[in-house]
Structure 1
């Protein structure tokens, strides 16, 4: 009961957010409860910080923010698990194209020795574009196998703990297991878990998640309406703790300590309790490290398209054609150095076109809202289409 505190915290981070967070009773709960005493008198945080290094980029201004959010970190870490099949297909096509070119270049080389050229595992850039769902409310997770595993394993633990009572009329193992499960459920139901997990403003904004310069993937998330999460704000993971958390954590720690003393005094059939704790610990480890889809984290996304190219600059240019400002917002991250003259000319022109489109949309919205009168009907910006940008240089 005194090992695996970090595992318990990560498992709680995975499942927290609702009234029922089935993280099973295990050997790590007492150590975790004592850690929360330090939290109660310190920064008063329950949710762990992101365990996957990543950044969040504003899709319009290009401002880069280091991500501290557990939820966004897991979205980036698990992307290859939940990405749509279309994205996987596009990435494989890019890798195949790069491998074909590398093979041709090797054959042209004077020191070519007939050996096969190894296929690269990462090349170019793939930007996957998603929109937040308008039909599903953010902050309400979808229950998946990770969630239901806690309920199933808890029932198994109770089943194992009742065996000593059936065989030896020893009720202590069942009582300790039941008490441990109840305390675990109460700990996971503290209101601050939900407040920390989805603490951010709500507004229509575009944010791009990636790991670093040189990453294979970038995830662009467009807020569909004013109720969408502001992912930039969510990335800061800045929340004020609750006084109820300080009081509740202290009381729960005392109760866990009392349970530990009770376990230490057990003299009959300790192996059944060891089995119960071992089963719970395995469940905690699996839950803490499991890959999950965005909906299970309360962020509901709808796939729109992906832009995958062997050359990063070409990928950003094509993205800019489809989504003004978005390609330019990634430029400083993936090309922090000096641009070639033709590239600079392209991006200067792209900026002017994007600003003109923004102005046209703003004027059109004013007309729709009846805030201003303009002589002559202005066509919708969407009906005008995006001007075509032409770049004659070779992307690097």
Structure 2
């Protein structure tokens, strides 16, 4: 058999290459499940929840089956190990901050930042032309926990993709009586849905009921049944891979089906979704949805003036327009006005050396008075000029 004949046979029925395709893209499947998990049905009042995670059958599933089994056996989570948007979670009452390790929180923050960049408010559109820039933006939200995640187009598209795959796989069966492609597609779809319905996903996804501090640092142990179920699924995926390599005809249908599934997996893993799709409904805080600090010069009082001269703190506590809010410290000051202790907590994050009230760090008398009271309310040291000079 010459090389031309061999290539012709392989292109007519690429079953050997098809088997190799099924072992690539496991990380894409992992991110797709993390994105779409959450919606469930409960047939009876006391029956277990049945989670519906529409991640379509694709080339990456065999690889992911063994990757997830190894992860669980090695005391690692099913969820992606690191968030794709680094962030910190800070308790505004205590000021204690911690690095966020929740993939879900990181994804919500990523999607919000992208939305802000694309749809900035009209009043901020001409800042660059005026020679100004945003030094710090603080968006304030109210969290509304709901019973189930919001169903959006990404979740619906997953089910439409699954239906399309099953319809395509039935074509060889209807036309030629070859039910092998349908068997592989239906089996792969069933194994994929079973993997996405594991209770372990709920434990790692939002099992802490949206206590943000706990969610940011929690490391969930594997449930007793998780390693066993993943082991059985890995064996089933291995058997499916052997079945695929044994198909002698209509392999191009599987290439098409797997390609469609891979496109859906990629889209689901990177798509922007509202926070409500992760079962965390948030809405802007109506009285003060956004605080923005702009980069421009701020006037300074006479450095030799008496700190206690005059009391303008009451007037100074009134919220400023965004055009009057100067820099990072100005935005934090406005946050402290609206939410006592929150500004001091952020002050420590942006200015780590500022662990106590130090008068010389502030430009105006009113600002000195404001932060002096804020630090006292927070329970942090307040040093007078006399003590500082000693």
- What's the TM-score, normalizing by structure 2? 0.73
Aligned residue number for residue 348 of structure 1: 372
Q: Partner of 1:78: helix, strand, or coil?
A: helix
Instruction: Kindly state the Cα deviation for residue 161 of structure 1 after the two structures are TM-superposed.
Output: 0.6
Deviates more, 1:332-341 or 1:165-174: 332-341
Unaligned runs of 5+ in 1: 103-119, 203-228, 356-396
Match among 13, 17, 26 for residue 58 of structure 2: 26
Is the Cα–Cα contact under 8 Å of residues 316 and 327 in structure 1 kept in the other structure? Answer: yes
Query: Structure 2 CA distance, aligned partners of 1:68 and 1:99?
Result: 38
Q: Partner of 2:284: helix, strand, or coil?
A: strand
Unaligned runs of 5+ in 2: 1-21, 41-50, 295-326, 380-390
Query: Structure 2 CA distance, aligned partners of 1:95 and 1:191?
Result: 46
Match among 96, 105, 121 for residue 72 of structure 1: 105
Instruction: Kindly state the Cα deviation for residue 82 of structure 1 after the two structures are TM-superposed.
Output: 4.8
Match among 160, 179, 190 for residue 152 of structure 1: 160
Instruction: Kindly state the Cα deviation for residue 53 of structure 1 after the two structures are TM-superposed.
Output: 1.2
Aligned residue number for residue 128 of structure 1: 139
Instruction: Kindly state the Cα deviation for residue 285 of structure 1 after the two structures are TM-superposed.
Output: 0.2
Aligned residue number for residue 43 of structure 2: none
Residues 282 and 48 of structure 1, relative CA distance in 2, 3 Å threshold: same
Match among 323, 327, 330 for residue 343 of structure 2: 327
Aligned residue number for residue 96 of structure 1: 126
Q: Partner of 1:88: helix, strand, or coil?
A: coil
Q: Which has the larger radius of gyration?
A: 2
* Alignment pair present for 1:43 and 2:51: no
Per-residue CA deviations over 1:270-312 (Å, capped at 9, x if unaligned) read 0001100000000000000011110001111121111112011
Listed as ranges, the matches of 1:127-276 within 5 Å are: 127-133=138-144, 136-137=145-146, 140-200=148-208, 229-276=210-257
Query: Structure 2 CA distance, aligned partners of 1:57 and 1:99?
Result: 34
Aligned residue number for residue 26 of structure 2: 5
Query: Structure 1 CA distance, aligned partners of 2:238 and 2:127?
Result: 61
Aligned residue number for residue 360 of structure 1: none
Query: Structure 2 CA distance, aligned partners of 1:324 and 1:84?
Result: 29
Per-residue CA deviations over 1:204-262 (Å, capped at 9, x if unaligned) read xxxxxxxxxxxxxxxxxxxxxxxxx2101100131111121100000000000000000
Query: Structure 2 CA distance, aligned partners of 1:189 and 1:126?
Result: 38
Residues 3 and 289 of structure 1, relative CA distance in 2, 3 Å threshold: same
Query: Structure 1 CA distance, aligned partners of 2:157 and 2:97?
Result: 37
Query: Structure 2 CA distance, aligned partners of 1:73 and 1:169?
Result: 49
Query: Structure 1 CA distance, aligned partners of 2:129 and 2:336?
Result: 26
Match among 268, 272, 296 for residue 287 of structure 1: 268
Aligned residue number for residue 362 of structure 1: none
Instruction: Kindly state the Cα deviation for residue 98 of structure 1 after the two structures are TM-superposed.
Output: 5.5
Is the Cα–Cα contact under 8 Å of residues 39 and 45 in structure 1 kept in the other structure? Answer: yes
Residues 354 and 67 of structure 1, relative CA distance in 2, 3 Å threshold: closer
Asked which structure has the greater RCO (Cα within 8 Å, sep 6+), the reply is 1
Instruction: Kindly state the Cα deviation for residue 95 of structure 1 after the two structures are TM-superposed.
Output: 6.3
Instruction: Kindly state the Cα deviation for residue 44 of structure 1 after the two structures are TM-superposed.
Output: 4.5
Q: Partner of 2:225: helix, strand, or coil?
A: helix
- CA RMSD in angstroms comes to 2.1
Instruction: Kindly state the Cα deviation for residue 54 of structure 1 after the two structures are TM-superposed.
Output: 1.2
* Alignment pair present for 1:15 and 2:46: no
Aligned residue number for residue 226 of structure 1: none
Query: Structure 2 CA distance, aligned partners of 1:84 and 1:297?
Result: 21
Q: Partner of 1:300: helix, strand, or coil?
A: strand
